Amino acid sequence: MLWPRFNAPLTATTALEESIVATFDELIERVKANIVETDTHAVRALQTSDDPTVIIDVREREEFVDGHIEGAEFIPRGQLDLKIESAVPNRDTPIVLYCAGGTRSALATRSLQELGYTNVKSMSGGFTAWKRSGFPVHIAKTMSPEQLSRYSRHLIIPEIGEKGQRKLLDSRVLLLGAGGLGSPAAMYLAAAGVGTIGLIDSDVVDRSNLQRQILHTDESVGTPKVESARARINALNPDVEVKTYDTWLSSENVLEIFEGYDVVVDGGDNFATRYLVNDACVRLGIPNVHGSVYRFEGQVTSFVPHQGPCYRCLYPEPPPPELAPSCQEAGVLGVLPGVIGILQAIEVIKLLVDVGEPLAGRLLTFDGLKSQFRELKLRRDPECSMCGEHAEWNGFIDYEVFCSVS
């Protein structure tokens, strides 16, 4: 058999392959000639500036997980055209795209220009150049195959995605009460993948609780509510770490318990506790998602420090005990706490992932008899004793405990 010499003429197939390579190279050159490129130093400067630029990693998931630019959004190039409008609705927003070497990001930049985005740049050299420049690399926490399956419906939502789900997994939420409001809130926050859930409740499960407190079962009657709740949450989602506080919340322990949590969910059943929760959250700068129910009616709002009023802005002092209905006399429709507790859970997720519009400065009320929601505007009191402009911290006030209903 005669083997071809190294300097033999190119075959038709080889010539075609070179033609394809040359054509692709020419394509990239033409693309780069019609887009704006930036370098790694300019992108690094954006990380420490007040510039509203959105940095997007257009590589594949495996590449992103192995390391990426801190704060970068992850949208693979193959999904960019479909997801960009949800991720960046304003087409005039400054955007920087990057990939491994600068080729995919250049093509993606052209695609966004064709979609009407007016201020898009491609980072030349890509993530390889970023590492060579010695700039910091963020290594994402990888989710297990089980987690990817469990949270798959979150991962395909542009507003949450992997970045948002990791935020949930890293979050810490404290629930005051494992009762009517705490039950649905805890169940859905656990199902959503909130990494740490704290539960404060010093009560034991009573059979009269089961009409509305879905965390507990008939077998739990007589056991501490926090232990019953822990078992139910762990059975639903073993990813969640449950911290329990089988104690009565007081001015002596509130700061110690609250510190380190990202959001507090107030499902308390008395005015004294509501004021204590409010004051501690304002003191620590922690958002407080408040809910309450009464017979067929409920309400929910988010008290976010410095973004709206606090509880004391609305109610500077608790009402006299004789004007508050007792827990036994007032009653509550069993399914009503489910509606309000789930709304509280939605508020928590929005605050943790930083999406949507939380109810800061708004009170959402629900009338179960009319199946009617109503929204009320809430204003911050500049003279509020707790969050006002001239407020001075004088310690907690221990009010007499008298019941509302949850």
Looking at residue 367, which CATH number applies to its domain?
3.40.50.720
Q: What's the distance, Cα to Cα, between the start and end of the chain in Å?
A: 91
DSSP 8-state class, residue 217: -
Longest CA–CA separation in the chain, Å: 108
405 pLDDT band (50/70/90 cuts)? Answer: very low
Task: List pLDDT tens digits, range 138-194.
Answer: 887 778 889 999 999 998 888 898 889 999 999 999 999 999 999 999 999 999 999
Position with higher pLDDT, 316 vs 15: 316
- Give yes or no: residues 215 and 288 share one domain: yes
pLDDT at 330: 73
Residues annotated catalytic, as ranges: 327
pLDDT at 8: 41
- Give yes or no: residues 83 and 222 share one domain: no
- Give yes or no: residues 79 and 191 share one domain: no
- Give yes or no: residues 329 and 265 share one domain: yes
- Give yes or no: residues 209 and 315 share one domain: yes
262-266, 304-308, 397-401: least confident range: 397-401
Whether 401 maps to a domain, the answer reads no
Whether 8 maps to a domain, the answer reads no
Neighbours of 329 (CB within 10 A): 8
Position with higher pLDDT, 382 vs 400: 382
Q: What is the CATH number of the domain that holds 87?
A: 3.40.250.10
pLDDT surpasses 80 at 112: yes
Whether 140 maps to a domain, the answer reads no
87 pLDDT band (50/70/90 cuts)? Answer: confident
pLDDT surpasses 60 at 114: yes
CA angle 282, 283, 289 (to 5 degrees): 30
Residue type, 313: C
pLDDT surpasses 80 at 43: yes
- Give yes or no: residues 80 and 185 share one domain: no
Domain boundary among 71, 105, 132: 132
CB–CB of 209/231 below 8 Å? no
Average pLDDT over residues 351-379: 96
Residue 119 burial by CB count (10 A; 0-12/13-18/19+): exposed, middle or buried? Answer: middle
- Give yes or no: residues 260 and 176 share one domain: yes
Residue type, 215: L
- Give yes or no: residues 191 and 273 share one domain: yes
Domain boundary among 132, 150, 179: 132
- Give yes or no: residues 122 and 177 share one domain: no
190-199, 252-261, 311-320: least confident range: 311-320
CA distance 172 to 174: 7
pLDDT at 66: 85
Domain boundary among 101, 117, 132: 132
Q: Are strands 241-245 and 263-266 parallel, antiparallel or unpaired?
A: unpaired
Name beta bridge partners: 198. Answer: 174, 243
221 pLDDT band (50/70/90 cuts)? Answer: very high
3-class SS letters over the chain: CCCCCCCCCCCHHHHHHHHHHHHHHHHHHHHHHCCEEECHHHHHHHHCCCCCCEEEECCCHHHHHHCECCCCEECCHHHHHHHHHHHCCCCCCCEEEECCCCHHHHHHHHHHHHCCCCCEEEECCHHHHHHHCCCCCECCCCCCHHHHHHCHHHHCCCCCHHHHHHHHHCCEEEEECCCCCHHHHHHHHHHHCCCEEEEECCCECCHHHHHCCCCCCHHHCCCEHHHHHHHHHHHHCCCCEEEEECCCCCCCCHHHHHCCCCEEEECCCEHHHHHHHHHHHHHHCCCEEEEEEEECEEEEEEECCCCCCCHHHHCCCCCCHHHCCCHHHHCECCCHHHHHHHHHHHHHHHHHHCCCCCCCCEEEEEECCCCEEEEEECCCCCCCCCCCCCCCCCCCCCCCCCECCC
Average pLDDT over residues 124-143: 90
- Give yes or no: residues 288 and 372 share one domain: yes
pLDDT surpasses 80 at 249: yes
Q: Give the number of domains in the chain.
A: 2
- Give yes or no: residues 109 and 242 share one domain: no
pLDDT at 150: 96
Mean pLDDT of the chain: 89
Whether 82 maps to a domain, the answer reads yes
97 pLDDT band (50/70/90 cuts)? Answer: very high
CA distance 107 to 357: 34
Whether 145 maps to a domain, the answer reads no
- Give the predicted TM-score (pTM) of the model: 0.74
Percent pLDDT > 90 in the chain is: 73
pLDDT surpasses 60 at 406: no
Residue 228 burial by CB count (10 A; 0-12/13-18/19+): exposed, middle or buried? Answer: buried
pLDDT surpasses 70 at 6: no
Nearest to 59 by CA among 141, 133, 146, 128: 128
Domain of residue 300 covers 171-377
Q: What is the layout of strands, in order, in the sheet containing 36-38?
A: 36-38, 120-123, 95-98, 54-57, 73-74
pLDDT surpasses 50 at 7: no
- Give yes or no: residues 335 and 199 share one domain: yes
Q: How far is CA 381 from the centre of its chain?
A: 28
pLDDT surpasses 70 at 4: no
pLDDT surpasses 80 at 40: yes
pLDDT at 323: 65
165-169, 187-191, 318-322, 388-392: least confident range: 318-322
Nearest to 268 by CA among 405, 174, 363: 405
Q: What is the layout of strands, in order, in the sheet containing 372-377?
A: 241-245, 196-200, 172-176, 263-266, 288-294, 297-303, 362-367, 372-377
Tokens of 180: 């009517």
Whether 404 maps to a domain, the answer reads no
Average pLDDT over residues 67-92: 92
pLDDT surpasses 60 at 302: yes
Whether 143 maps to a domain, the answer reads no
CB–CB of 245/198 below 8 Å? yes
